[in-house]
Structure 1
Amino acid sequence: MNGLYGVCRYRNDISVIECDEIKFHKLEEVSKPESLRFWMYLLLYVGLLLFSGFMAGLTLTLNSTDLTTLEVLQSAGSDLEKRYAKSLIPLAKKHYRVLLTLVTLNALGVIILPILLDRLQNSVVAVLVSATLVTLFGEVLPLAICKRNGLQIAYHSSFIIWVFYYVLFPFTLPLSVMMEKMLGKYQGHFFRRSELEALIAVHSTRQPTAPKSDIDVNEESNAQQPRSLLLSEEEVRLIRATMHMHIDTAKSVMIKWENAVKLEIDEIITPKVIESIYKCGFTRIPIYEKPATPIGILNVHYLLALKGSVWVSVRAFTQSIKAMPQALLPPKLVDSNTKAFQLMEMFHTCRLPRMAFVMLSDKKQNALIGIVSLSDILRRWMSIGDENDDMSSTLQYSS
């Protein structure tokens, strides 16, 4: 530039002016409401703001409604919930890639919004207004809406999610593989035993309230509807008792040997003995040989068939009924540490007869310490005693 004057000219881009080989960039003017560009930027800004909020809401929905919840709804939900869950389960199984897709789209929207607003206002105002609008319409409001109706919104938006899922495939695939190696394969949320027990207890105490729009004209049926959604105290008690059965063992549910009703092999069966057994109401009685050797389990029906005047030893009686397999069952031994659930399965599959002898699980000694039956396990489960089926009763008779 020579003297006070110089030669300047526009380059191909009119925003750049070159004066004596020195380039000057022209500052972009803020668009005015009178211009078409202003309304284009404003429309694009509003659309991008809604899109960003939509992605934020979907992110919350698909993270709060995990794979386990969807599988539960698919199995036990209403017809509408089953349809929603069936459509969303494939997305939930690709958790990391879907999450990366939604977060990426939301982040792009949040980044571009201030740039667009800068075309409409000065930079300071653009940042302040953009931060306020993004917080309100791009985060708070979408999250509140999707938290309440997230399943329905995600179902109707699943096609859009799949489109962006494949569009961003080159970017999200390597990141999702890396996340899976670092965090492990996503399998949904599973409750620990203690958490599940607490969840069941909460469902018995929390009172669900139906929306006013759902109130029926029939007040009586409407009043009973919320109660049907609850678990009764009895149901909760039985469920929790079932969950505790993994702790119970044969030793904790058995009748101690010294308290059990039993017959010694050399004992004489008298009318008094038969009468006492009849009053106890048992169908099976253990037979043993002193000091505590299991012989078998006697079917009481055959014993009651004896004539009242007959006096016979238990040994002689058992010899006489050997030809009848159901009369005297061979002894079945179980370890004292056998779990109650295992015992129930053995009784159910007939691997154990109606009764089993419990042996002490000690390498030094293998002593008989009690008897256990299916009734003992069920009584422990229900915490209900039945005096007519209590093997700890004592035979009351005189020789």
Structure 2
Amino acid sequence: MSPILKALAPPEYIIGRWNEDQIPYIDHPQLFHDYWVKVVTTVMLVLLGGLFAGLTLGLMSLDETNLHILASSGDQKQRKYARRIQPIRKNGHLLLVTLLLSNVLVNETLPIVMDDILGGGGTTAILVSSALIVIFGEIIPQAVCSRYGLAIGAFFAWPVRILIWLTFIVGYPIAKLLDLILGQDRGIIYRRAELKELIMYHETTTEHGGDLVTDSVKIIRGTLDLQDKVVESAMTPIEKAFMISNDSIMDRDTMGRVYSTGHSRIPVYEGSRENILGVLLVKSLVTYNPDEALPLKKFRINNIPKVAAETPLFDILNIFREGRSHMAIVNKGKDSKPIGIITLEDVLEELIQEEIYDESDKQIRLLTEDQSRPNNNYNHRRRNKFKSPPLMRFNSEPTNVMQPGEDHIIGGETEALLSFSVVNAESSMSVCSDEG
């Protein structure tokens, strides 16, 4: 017999001998055939064991949430692969039991077959089969399927379906028992804190190379945080809010103070600052002549909603979205004592995590900004923004109109009215609706 066959086969399978002309021939061809059948069977068992182990890791790592995302928003191949896998991944415990049963069956059969090939000696068969299983049935398949699990899982989706049907009698009761004990596999649902970190993980500036710009990450995180924030955390304290008394005379000094705030709405109180009657729409004063010096009571005061300090920011955002008002009074305690003012701009600033400045704010900031305060203190900057600004006085003396490139507030009644009209009235009309 050939030396190669002698090396491969145990003594009982050395079934050929040399004739007088030194030509090998086979005495028992059936035994020789059985030997190679078992060799091929061993190879097939190792490959099947590796396939089942790889599919177990690859398919089970694709939870329903991930597959749903890929099927909806992935590229063309990802959508195709995900839709193939979804039917078999839907019942995760049944899939897991099927693959594990198949893998165990293969791994337990392999030493038996190899024992016949190696001519007895169970220890040798166990050692060789264990080495084959670890290398070719576990390490290599799982390394490949962990990287290409979606494509490989989609390719073997139909064979796995057939396997589920073949093992259904045994696998289904075990899967139902797991469902009762552990609950059904619903996929991964991230908690809000985890989702925030996941968003940051995909920022372009990180080492992971995501495709979300910093502003997008900031707004998304602000939106997630908005659910836990209440009105009290974003309001302007009532002692820092610019308000006007209902007894005020709308002369030049008062009008100058109103225009200098840059606000489109001014809360109006009677007697005490805690007794807020409503809100004055500043755009209604654009055509008013301050020389008339009318009392504020002559002007229309719009109603202003009241909210509790514990109201979530999402709820107040919905109130503002309905168009009834873009400003509300914040009350606290059993006696509903006003403690602050909340505006739509306050909510938006919490959302984008930055302070919003319009043209008037920039001019006022040049006059009121405290250079000594820390620039990175967002809450401090936002609270100071609502302090009463210096008085802008109206005078009848003509002044020069601001030239291009000059960085100061123009004087004169005409210029002030024009500045207010452009900066405040136009933005107010485009941002909010009239309150009734």
Structure 1 length as normaliser, TM-score? 0.80
Task: Describe the SS at the equivalent of 1:189.
Answer: coil
Aligned pairs, how many?
Answer: 341
Residue matched to 2:60:
63
Take 2:342 and 2:276, find their aligned partners in 1: how far apart are those partners? 13
Take 1:146 and 1:153, find their aligned partners in 2: how far apart are those partners? 7
Any residues of structure 2 matched to 1:1-399 within 5 Å, and which?
31-32=13-14, 35-121=32-118, 122=120, 123-204=122-203, 206-207=206-207, 229-291=210-272, 292-318=274-300, 328-350=301-323, 352-360=324-332, 362-363=333-334, 365-387=335-357, 388=360, 392-394=386-388, 396-397=390-391
Are the structure 2 counterparts of residues 76 and 314 from structure 1 closer, same or farther at C-alpha, using a change threshold of 3 Å?
same
Are the structure 2 counterparts of residues 79 and 137 from structure 1 closer, same or farther at C-alpha, using a change threshold of 3 Å?
same
Are the structure 2 counterparts of residues 240 and 30 from structure 1 closer, same or farther at C-alpha, using a change threshold of 3 Å?
farther
- Is the 2:53–2:142 Cα contact (8 Å) retained in structure 1? yes
- Is the 1:50–1:137 Cα contact (8 Å) retained in structure 2? yes
CA RMSD of aligned residues (A): 2.2
Deviation per CA, 1:60-114: give whole Å up to 9, x if none: 0111111111111112211110111111112221101011001100000000000
Are the structure 2 counterparts of residues 289 and 395 from structure 1 closer, same or farther at C-alpha, using a change threshold of 3 Å?
farther
Distance apart, 1:268 and its partner CA: 1.6
Take 1:240 and 1:30, find their aligned partners in 2: how far apart are those partners? 73
Residue matched to 1:9:
none
Deviation per CA, 1:179-202: give whole Å up to 9, x if none: 000001110111122222222222
Distance apart, 1:116 and its partner CA: 0.3
Gaps of 5+ in 1: 1-27, 209-226, 319-327
- What amino acid is the match of 1:162? R
Give the fraction of aligned pairs with identical amino acids, expressed as a percent.
28
Distance apart, 1:45 and its partner CA: 0.9
- Is the 1:207–1:230 Cα contact (8 Å) retained in structure 2? no
- Is the 2:260–2:390 Cα contact (8 Å) retained in structure 1? no
Take 1:338 and 1:264, find their aligned partners in 2: how far apart are those partners? 27
Deviation per CA, 1:154-202: give whole Å up to 9, x if none: 0010000110111111111111111000001110111122222222222
Gaps of 5+ in 2: 1-9, 17-31, 362-381, 395-436
Are the structure 2 counterparts of residues 277 and 367 from structure 1 closer, same or farther at C-alpha, using a change threshold of 3 Å?
same
Deviation per CA, 1:300-355: give whole Å up to 9, x if none: 1112321121112212323xxxxxxxxx42120111111112222222233x4111
Distance apart, 1:395 and its partner CA: 5.1
- Is the 1:274–1:304 Cα contact (8 Å) retained in structure 2? no
Are the structure 2 counterparts of residues 315 and 32 from structure 1 closer, same or farther at C-alpha, using a change threshold of 3 Å?
farther
Take 1:32 and 1:197, find their aligned partners in 2: how far apart are those partners? 69
- Is the 2:279–2:302 Cα contact (8 Å) retained in structure 1? yes
Bigger shift: 53-62 or 381-390?
A: 381-390
